[in-house]
A and B are shown apart, each in its own frame.
Chain A
């Protein structure tokens, strides 16, 4: 973690700003994966539409800065307003999607969350005012008065880094709180939880909303990072990527999603350098990790650590 704090410094010294951008992306996707892990890893809710919130956060920034520049409405370029609106819209969307999908279980839940996500995807595609299918380039990033200048990639990096730490700590608190214990209990035995008196549905819904909100914030960061928003950010394959990161890193572990996001982007970068058909290698790797890596990379690390201690 501390190593991550030094990335921009090192990148500056070796004069490779590309690394700052790449690691910045890792941080943002880590936040997205952390949010999904709350419901998927700890709550057992396999949402296949989590990228929707990434899209909402992104479009809030895209549309806001578009009007700020185009129509000179300066408050629409304000980063705090972007964050607030992204939080509100993500929460409402998650409330809407969750209140319907959480009435179902298993494959039905997966399919419904996927269907809703595709619905939002097509709304974005059809919205010609804001670029439709082609998306929208940002001519400016979110403005945080004079305190924080996001046009500097290093500042953006440290904002991402700070928020990642904040959300990691938050999820650490959450999963051990009464609420977290309840959500985890419902994952392992929902019927029993109902039976001892928990109204499981409403707690799951709140967890679903919390996860959506955090991912919406990641979306705000993401749009600033890429200076571009398009419907592709909420394509179902993006939701799939988030699931892969969570599973790869270790479902239901605190750091798993971060490890997963970092590993995912490294592998993508590395393998796509070898061959353009990198997914042919990536796919089987995932299968192997799913089969042998009980608990993802985090699980493998824990076992290696144990093995090491026994040897000593």
Chain B
């Protein structure tokens, strides 16, 4: 479903993505792990179109999306969440999701009817809020919600665009253990309904969710395999723990 081939991206002299290739199969949760600065966010930014790669190609459903506009990618079924929460703080949670629903409910050259009383948008938006457990917070301003709820709202907005492939950039970043396991539950429920590329720093989260894992170090794919294989892989241990800390 997603094929990344020989992707390269550098910032000035820094090679953030170094000839990266991997594939994501339909219907699975594909984890991407790697230490800070490995290039995980840079990878997602290229998949969602925020930044353009220097070279290489990205195929999504056999369409070459390497240079496609951000909004067109959304139209063909790509959605993402942001590592740093990126929502409309001065709107309610419900409004935030309704906006995402609106983006995929035909054109918006509708100048007269009150969008906030548009039942089609509102009802669907509420469904997505339910999916992430935020329905009770629907009428709160997003700015009043907790950090964990912001992350949930991000997911609801992404789901509201009805994606085939969901790109999640560290959905549990900055969360306590309780919020984090709530997020894992939300993602578990999504499993099988759509394909997810899950970028995570937290190993426990990835291992409890992913069907396959790619390990990214210095912008390179050092291994892509099943979770069990990754767990016992020497190179991964080196990347995460440092050579000298590994017991023989």
Contacts and interface: CB of A to CB of B under 8 A. Distances in A.
Do A and B interact with each other, yes or no?
yes
Interface of A: 173-174, 176-182, 185, 188-189, 191-200, 203, 206
Nearest to A195: B70
Given A180-B111, A196-B161, 5 more contacts: A177-B115, A185-B91, A195-B80, A196-B157, A197-B71
Contacts of B157: 196
Contacts of A192: 86-88
A198 B99 CA distance: 10
Interface of B: 48, 50, 69-72, 74-75, 79-80, 86-88, 90-91, 95, 99-100, 102-104, 108-116, 118, 157-158, 160-161
Contacts of B113: 177-178
Contacts of B160: 196
Given A188-B88, A196-B74, A181 B80 contact: no
Contacts of B158: 196
Nearest to B98: A181
Contacts, number: 86
Contacts of A180: 111, 115
A197 B161 contact: yes
Contacts of A193: 99, 103
A181 B91 CA distance: 11
A196 B116 contact: no
A180 B95 CA distance: 13
Contacts of A206: 109
- Most interface-central of B70, B114, B157 (chain A CB within 10 A): B70
A174 B115 CA distance: 10
B112 A177 contact: yes
A251 to B, nearest CB: 14
A54 to B, nearest CB: 23
A203 B90 CA distance: 21
Given A177-B113, A182-B102, A189-B86, A195 B74 contact: yes
Contacts of B50: 191, 195
